[in-house]
Chains A and B, each alone.
Chain A
Amino acid sequence: MITTLVALVIAGISMLTSDLETYRSSAASDLTTEAAILALSTAPALSFDDHQLAEQDLTALRIRPGLRVAALYDSRGKLYAAYVAPRESPPPRTIALRALASATGKARTSGQRVDVFERVDRGGEWLGTVYLRARYPVIGRLQTYFGIFVLVIFGSLVLALVLTQRLQEAITVPLSAIADVAQRVIRNRDYSIRAEKITDDEIGTVVDAFNRMLDEVQARDAALREADRRKDEFLATLAHELRNPLAPIRQATLILESARADERQRRSAREVISRQAQRMALLLDDLLDVSRITRGRLKLRHESVDLAAMVSSAVEVARPGIDAKEHTLEVHLPAQPVHLRGDSLRLSQALSNLLTNAAKYTDPHGRIALTAALKDDELRISVEDTGIGVSSGGIQRLFQPFTQLSAAANRSEGGLGIGLALVKGLVELHGGTVEAISRGVGHGTTFTLRLPLAGAGPPPVDDEELPVTRARPTPPRRHVLVIDDNRDAADTLGIVLGIAGHRVDVEHQPIAGLERARRERPDCLIIDIGMPEMDGYELARQIRRERWGDGVLLIALTGWGQPADKERAVSAGFDHHFTKPVNPDELERVLAAAPFT
């Protein structure tokens, strides 16, 4: 606004000044011309000393606006004749001819007055001088102009104000609407509100972007809530699933404690404990696997996999479930042997998951068909069942972890709902895809795996705690010291190792354990990390400082399994780090492999 005003004022003043100048100079030139004409016309009167005619000539100029004095001077500079307008000061009686000589013909302006002197010549004679004086209403003109000027400025300012107001509104109104919506969204945490798009310009673009952002926020919020809900659901399911095996284990231990149980009952109890423990371990392994896949930490082997062998091992795992419900299983494989690159164990795991699912979610005496075929440079394995099927809505959620469709959950066959998620993760890590098709509830389901044959396998990596059972030769006998403040854990581990053939000692206090180690110099120490008085890391460090400490095999055994924990273990001096419950075979492998003096 100020800039506009300043610009207008400057423009106005310049125009005013310019106009005044033009006015003045044109007035002056007019008068000069007038004087020249008068000089010509009064020559005769001066020539022949005709006073009356001279007066007439001068008075004739009365009609000319602005003319105040018209005077004629003789050749000696004396006033000869004059016309003086009313209320005007008279011309000088005499004029100095010499001073006049240079000034004639040029108008002089001062304020509102213009004076001109002009020579009267005729026939080479200087007969006299004409003098004209005019007044021009410069002030009046100035005032008029100023009035117009102020009016124009005022009008322009008003117009400018109105325009800027309008333009601003075009921007501020929609922007404040957006801000308003933003505030409401934040205050009420209501992500369904949207800003209204009024115009189709840049502001409209902003509104669109803002709304899209809100869409995103809303979606993520919903996703978060969903994930949260699933997590809660999962935790509940997990608790439930863990209680299931625990119950029989407890009961079994009761049986073993009872003196009145006979041998057959005791054996049965032992079997129960073993089975249920295995089941829990499997459950937790699956969970860990899914977690690893999600975090991108699952490492796969890179080897040549024989299809037939893989299928057969998967069938073997799923066989109990299939037989229990008396399903029929058909397996169709290609005639020629098929090899692909990947982790045969994991692939087998995925396949056995599918088979187990098929068995679980099919009524007894159902049919399961496994068909493997080569097509277009990929291997297709389909598992088809005559089970409960999946609704079209359910297909979408099938492969999400911790999901169990209502129909399946009601069957209370148990499970965490992660089997399919695991299958998907494992297959995708191999560069393949898995999909499910169902003709609807009650019409069975078909799962199809597609695996690329050429190359697309996981990068070669070192293995990590594979829950695998391997055949092994008779291990050498070691002297092992177990230090764990959890008596049951330490004692049972000791028994297991003892059964495996090692000499085992158990200590429940770290310091006592250290002293015993000093005394007896075992081959290997298995140390729990979380202990009072001294934690496992510290114990390991102390041991390493001992003279005999360098060559001892130190194994950390703990419930903490994060990479950070492993690093700490390694830097504390441990050779290995296992999470509880440790796989005995793993432990065996390590004990067997370590070089001992």
Chain B
Amino acid sequence: MRRDRPANLQTRRGVLKLFACSAGMALIAGKAFGDELYSENAVKAAFLYRFCGYVTWPAQTPQESHFTIALLGADAVAQELERIASGRTIHGLPARVRRIGSIGELGNAQMLFVGLGSVDALQEEIGRIAQRPVLVVTDTPGGLDAGSTLNFLLVDRRVRFEVSLVAANRAGLKISAELLSVAARVEGERLRSDASCAPIGPADMRCRTRFG
């Protein structure tokens, strides 16, 4: 579903929502996770880590030495992610978390998480790296419109996400069908707000929506 709202209002609403839900999220998130803390940030961090297992990057030459997840404007999440990812490997490469101040500092990171920002503002920034094989995850309502591949959603006080196959395609990334099956919403080649979309069906990539 596409939400057409003014950027500033969007951002403010998003932030409010975020803080409002975080306390509630703690308990809910706690159900699914063992040693991690039950905060929303922790959940998001875990999700970010796990996304990597369901995405295939194109072969890079020369081979990178690390798998770097860059976080922009999301220190709390970055802290959690640092804890999760320490000592672990992603796609055979030692995982590394970097906090960056701007898109320009992305470097050779394979994944980017943008914590805050309006859709319009993000759109311009993300647009600059759209063609690069970087998995961009946003945390803003309507974030996919900004050009990201994955965007977090809050559905029934639970952290969910939506996927843009267009963006993934553009970045040269392959999204596993398993991830699509867990996604709350998937945007395919053509956007379609068709109520007759099949609720489940990895075969149907054009439009799939769950949870309403």
User: Do A and B come together as binding partners?
Assistant: yes
Please indicate the chain B residues that have their CB under 8 angstroms from the CB of A80 in the complex.
31-32
A112 CB–B CB distance under 8 Å: no
Please indicate the chain B residues that have their CB under 8 angstroms from the CB of A126 in the complex.
34
A-B contact count (CB 8 A): 54
Contacting pair B89 A49 (CB below 8 A): no
Q: Among residues 1 to 40 in chain B, which have CB atoms less than 8 Å away from a CB atom of chain A?
A: 29, 31-35
Contacting pair B159 A123 (CB below 8 A): no
Given the known interface contacts A48-B47, A49-B158, A124-B88, the answer about A75 and B34 at a Cβ–Cβ threshold of 8 Å is: yes
Contacting pair A45 B182 (CB below 8 A): yes
Q: Could you tell me the distance between the alpha carbons of A48 and B89 in the complex, rounded to whole angstroms? A: 19
Closest approach, in angstroms, between the C-beta of B47 and any C-beta of chain A?
A: 6
B198 CB–A CB distance under 8 Å: no
Could you give, for residues 169-212 of chain B, a 1 whenever the CB lies within 8 Å of some chain A CB and a 0 otherwise?
00000000011011000000000000000001000000000100
Contacting pair A49 B49 (CB below 8 A): no
CB-contact partner of A47 in B31, B34, B182, under 8 A: B182
B90 CB–A CB distance under 8 Å: yes
CB-contact partner of B178 in A44, A56, A76, A123, under 8 A: A44
Q: Could you tell me the distance between the alpha carbons of A43 and B50 in the complex, rounded to whole angstroms? A: 10
Contacting pair B31 A78 (CB below 8 A): yes
Q: Which residue of B lies closest to A123 (CB)?
A: B53
The chain B residues found within 8 Å of chain A, CB to CB, are: 29, 31-35, 43, 47, 49-50, 52-54, 88-90, 158-161, 178-179, 181-182, 200, 210
Q: Could you tell me the distance between the alpha carbons of A123 and B179 in the complex, rounded to whole angstroms? A: 14
Given the known interface contacts A49-B31, A76-B34, the answer about A122 and B182 at a Cβ–Cβ threshold of 8 Å is: no
Please indicate the chain A residues that have their CB under 8 angstroms from the CB of B50 in the complex.
47-48, 122-123, 125
Contacting pair A44 B52 (CB below 8 A): no
Q: Could you tell me the distance between the alpha carbons of A56 and B202 in the complex, rounded to whole angstroms? A: 14
Contacting pair A50 B53 (CB below 8 A): no
Please indicate the chain A residues that have their CB under 8 angstroms from the CB of B29 in the complex.
49
CB-contact partner of A74 in B32, B52, B90, under 8 A: B32
Q: Which residue of A lies closest to B50 (CB)?
A: A47
Contacting pair B200 A56 (CB below 8 A): yes
Given the known interface contacts A49-B29, A56-B200, A80-B31, the answer about A123 and B182 at a Cβ–Cβ threshold of 8 Å is: no
Please indicate the chain B residues that have their CB under 8 angstroms from the CB of A76 in the complex.
34
Could you give, for residues 125-154 of chain A, a 1 whenever the CB lies within 8 Å of some chain B CB and a 0 otherwise?
110000000000000000000000000000
Q: Which residue of B lies closest to A122 (CB)?
A: B53
Contacting pair B200 A44 (CB below 8 A): no
Closest approach, in angstroms, between the C-beta of A47 and any C-beta of chain B?
A: 5
Q: Which residue of A lies closest to B52 (CB)?
A: A123
Please indicate the chain A residues that have their CB under 8 angstroms from the CB of B88 in the complex.
123-124
Please indicate the chain A residues that have their CB under 8 angstroms from the CB of B178 in the complex.
41, 43-44
Please indicate the chain A residues that have their CB under 8 angstroms from the CB of B159 in the complex.
49
Contacting pair B34 A53 (CB below 8 A): no
28 contacts between A and B (CB under 8 A): A41-B178, A44-B54, A44-B178, A44-B181, A44-B182, A47-B182, A48-B160, A48-B182, A49-B29, A49-B32, A49-B33, A49-B159, A52-B210, A53-B182, A56-B200, A74-B31, A75-B33, A76-B34, A78-B31, A80-B32, A122-B53, A123-B49, A123-B52, A123-B88, A124-B88, A124-B89, A125-B50, A126-B34
Q: Which residue of A lies closest to B46 (CB)?
A: A47
Q: Could you tell me the distance between the alpha carbons of A75 and B29 in the complex, rounded to whole angstroms? A: 13
Q: Could you tell me the distance between the alpha carbons of A43 and B177 in the complex, rounded to whole angstroms? A: 13
A46 CB–B CB distance under 8 Å: yes
Q: Could you tell me the distance between the alpha carbons of A235 and B179 in the complex, rounded to whole angstroms? A: 134
Q: Could you tell me the distance between the alpha carbons of A366 and B34 in the complex, rounded to whole angstroms? A: 152
CB-contact partner of A49 in B43, B54, B210, under 8 A: B43
Q: Which residue of A lies closest to B158 (CB)?
A: A49
Contacting pair B34 A74 (CB below 8 A): yes
Q: Which residue of A lies closest to B179 (CB)?
A: A44
Q: Which residue of A lies closest to B177 (CB)?
A: A44
Closest approach, in angstroms, between the C-beta of B7 and any C-beta of chain A?
A: 28
Q: Could you tell me the distance between the alpha carbons of A125 and B52 in the complex, rounded to whole angstroms? A: 13
Closest approach, in angstroms, between the C-beta of B29 and any C-beta of chain A?
A: 7
Please indicate the chain A residues that have their CB under 8 angstroms from the CB of B47 in the complex.
47-48
Closest approach, in angstroms, between the C-beta of A234 and any C-beta of chain B?
A: 127
Q: Could you tell me the distance between the alpha carbons of A569 and B47 in the complex, rounded to whole angstroms? A: 142
Q: Could you tell me the distance between the alpha carbons of A126 and B32 in the complex, rounded to whole angstroms? A: 12
Please indicate the chain B residues that have their CB under 8 angstroms from the CB of A74 in the complex.
31-34
A sample of 14 more A-B contacts (CB under 8 A), given A44-B181, A47-B50, is A43-B178, A47-B53, A48-B47, A48-B161, A49-B29, A49-B159, A53-B182, A56-B200, A74-B33, A123-B49, A123-B50, A123-B53, A124-B88, A126-B34
Please indicate the chain B residues that have their CB under 8 angstroms from the CB of A45 in the complex.
182
Q: Among residues 64 to 82 in chain A, which have CB atoms less than 8 Å away from a CB atom of chain B?
A: 74-76, 78, 80
Could you give, for residues 76-96 of chain A, a 1 whenever the CB lies within 8 Å of some chain B CB and a 0 otherwise?
101010000000000000000
Q: Could you tell me the distance between the alpha carbons of A124 and B89 in the complex, rounded to whole angstroms? A: 9
Closest approach, in angstroms, between the C-beta of B91 and any C-beta of chain A?
A: 9
Please indicate the chain B residues that have their CB under 8 angstroms from the CB of A43 in the complex.
178
Contacting pair A53 B181 (CB below 8 A): yes
Q: Could you tell me the distance between the alpha carbons of A50 and B178 in the complex, rounded to whole angstroms? A: 12
Q: Which residue of B lies closest to A56 (CB)?
A: B200
Q: Among residues 469 to 510 in chain A, which have CB atoms less than 8 Å away from a CB atom of chain B?
A: none
Closest approach, in angstroms, between the C-beta of A59 and any C-beta of chain B?
A: 12
Closest approach, in angstroms, between the C-beta of A560 and any C-beta of chain B?
A: 132
Q: Could you tell me the distance between the alpha carbons of A115 and B159 in the complex, rounded to whole angstroms? A: 33
Closest approach, in angstroms, between the C-beta of B54 and any C-beta of chain A?
A: 7
**Of listed A49, A52, A122, A126, residue having the most chain B CB within 10 A:** A49
Q: Could you tell me the distance between the alpha carbons of A512 and B85 in the complex, rounded to whole angstroms? A: 158
**Of listed B31, B88, B90, residue having the most chain A CB within 10 A:** B31
Please indicate the chain B residues that have their CB under 8 angstroms from the CB of A44 in the complex.
54, 178-179, 181-182
Q: Could you tell me the distance between the alpha carbons of A78 and B34 in the complex, rounded to whole angstroms? A: 10
Please indicate the chain A residues that have their CB under 8 angstroms from the CB of B34 in the complex.
74-76, 126
Q: Could you tell me the distance between the alpha carbons of A44 and B32 in the complex, rounded to whole angstroms? A: 12
Q: Could you tell me the distance between the alpha carbons of A532 and B127 in the complex, rounded to whole angstroms? A: 168
Please indicate the chain B residues that have their CB under 8 angstroms from the CB of A47 in the complex.
47, 50, 53, 182
Contacting pair A46 B32 (CB below 8 A): yes
Given the known interface contacts A123-B50, A123-B52, A123-B53, the answer about A50 and B31 at a Cβ–Cβ threshold of 8 Å is: no
Please indicate the chain A residues that have their CB under 8 angstroms from the CB of B49 in the complex.
123
**Of listed A44, A48, A123, residue having the most chain B CB within 10 A:** A48
Contacting pair B32 A123 (CB below 8 A): no
Q: Could you tell me the distance between the alpha carbons of A593 and B50 in the complex, rounded to whole angstroms? A: 151
Q: Could you tell me the distance between the alpha carbons of A123 and B178 in the complex, rounded to whole angstroms? A: 14
Please indicate the chain A residues that have their CB under 8 angstroms from the CB of B210 in the complex.
52
Q: Could you tell me the distance between the alpha carbons of A80 and B34 in the complex, rounded to whole angstroms? A: 13
Closest approach, in angstroms, between the C-beta of A1 and any C-beta of chain B?
A: 66
Q: Which residue of B lies closest to A124 (CB)?
A: B88
Q: Among residues 194 to 217 in chain A, which have CB atoms less than 8 Å away from a CB atom of chain B?
A: none
Please indicate the chain B residues that have their CB under 8 angstroms from the CB of A123 in the complex.
49-50, 52-53, 88, 90
Q: Could you tell me the distance between the alpha carbons of A445 and B60 in the complex, rounded to whole angstroms? A: 140
Q: Which residue of A lies closest to B31 (CB)?
A: A74
Please indicate the chain B residues that have their CB under 8 angstroms from the CB of A48 in the complex.
47, 50, 160-161, 182
Please indicate the chain A residues that have their CB under 8 angstroms from the CB of B43 in the complex.
49
Q: Which residue of A lies closest to B87 (CB)?
A: A124
Please indicate the chain A residues that have their CB under 8 angstroms from the CB of B182 in the complex.
44-45, 47-48, 50, 53
Closest approach, in angstroms, between the C-beta of B122 and any C-beta of chain A?
A: 23
Q: Could you tell me the distance between the alpha carbons of A124 and B47 in the complex, rounded to whole angstroms? A: 14
Q: Could you tell me the distance between the alpha carbons of A52 and B181 in the complex, rounded to whole angstroms? A: 11
Please indicate the chain B residues that have their CB under 8 angstroms from the CB of A78 in the complex.
31
